[in-house]
Amino acid sequence: SREAMGGEALLKKLKNKPDATAEDYLPARDFLRPKMVVINGGKNVLLDGPTFRNSPNFAVNPKGITNLTVRNCTIHNDYWAQNGDALDISACQNVVVYHCLVNAGDDGICMKSSGDRAPDNPALRNVLIADCTVGQSHGGFVIGSNTDGGMQNIWVTDCRFLGSDIGVRVKSNAGRGGLVSNIYVDNITMRNILHEAILFDTYYEDVPAGREKGSGLPATPTKVPDFQQFHFNNITCQGAEVAMYFRGLPQQPVHDLTFTNVSIQADKGVEAESIHNLTFQNVQLNVAQGPAIPATAAKEIKVL
């Protein structure tokens, strides 16, 4: 990529500078390593059977495709590979991801969507993810952090998340958020999740190496994430640090989520901030410490 070539040129120049300091090398962090496979635009695209290993950045990144099928693929990046996402589906429509095996240095199977779109015309919609196994990764199934183009009608079914940092990870923040709705997650098995089994975070911040996180929201936030109408059914997790984590914005809570036939074994139960209208039906949270549902969250969670 042009960015990688620029970074290489800078490093060659500094190699011939005997008095180069650490500060001289800092600009190199802004040059992106190239993605392995990017398919940008088009219709009726099929990826069937290949193996992708050790990508410098994202491994496979289809963008703006209508009618995309990814099946029988193996994607492997080592756990330490920074930005080593496995499969990032960006602003595509009518997508099937089937029978894939994934290990990633970052997110496993991830949905992204950018651009100014009307709420009834999301850039990413009609996605089926079925019979996939995700091992080491920052998240097994991930939404975000770019959601400002909108997402609708995603079904994740019959998948296994084994040893990932987070099982189901939904993340965005003010400035790159949009409406994400009609998401169905069912028949999921998780084991040995390092942190949260299920996470919703509207304060996500992607911090490049050598930089520090910002402080809070902008004074007048725009492109605020709106996570609603998520439905979880037949979910089991054997081992996690936190069963469920929700962090909405004060002006836009995470809202209208349903959890049915869910069993999670974790150190801690629910952690919640700015949520509204969650429904638990036949939900079993077996936690080692603290209440499964804290009093601060109980008023917004209907237990059936």
Taking only the tens place, the pLDDT of each residue in 39-69 is 999 999 999 999 999 999 999 999 999 999 9
94 shares its domain with 236: yes
98 shares its domain with 122: yes
pLDDT at residue 216 in the model: 58
- Tell me which of 4 and 210 has the higher pLDDT: 4
152 shares its domain with 140: yes
**pLDDT averaged over every residue in the chain:** 93
pLDDT at residue 211 in the model: 45
Find the domain containing 122 and state its range.
36-206+214-303
130 shares its domain with 21: no
Query: Can you give the CATH number for the domain in which 297 is found?
Result: 2.160.20.10
83 shares its domain with 109: yes
195 shares its domain with 290: yes
C-alpha to C-alpha distance for 107 and 86, rounded to whole angstroms: 7
pLDDT at residue 116 in the model: 78
Evaluate whether 268 touches 292 at the Cβ level (below 8 Å): no
Taking only the tens place, the pLDDT of each residue in 259-302 is 999 999 999 999 999 999 999 999 999 999 999 999 989 999 99
The predicted model scores a pTM of 0.90
Smallest CA-to-CA distance from 66 within 39, 83, 38, 43 is with 43
- Give backbone dihedrals phi and psi of 267, rounded to 5 degrees, phi first: -70, -45
118 shares its domain with 235: yes
pLDDT above 70 covers a percentage of the chain that reads 93
pLDDT above 90 covers a percentage of the chain that reads 80
286 shares its domain with 269: yes
158 shares its domain with 245: yes
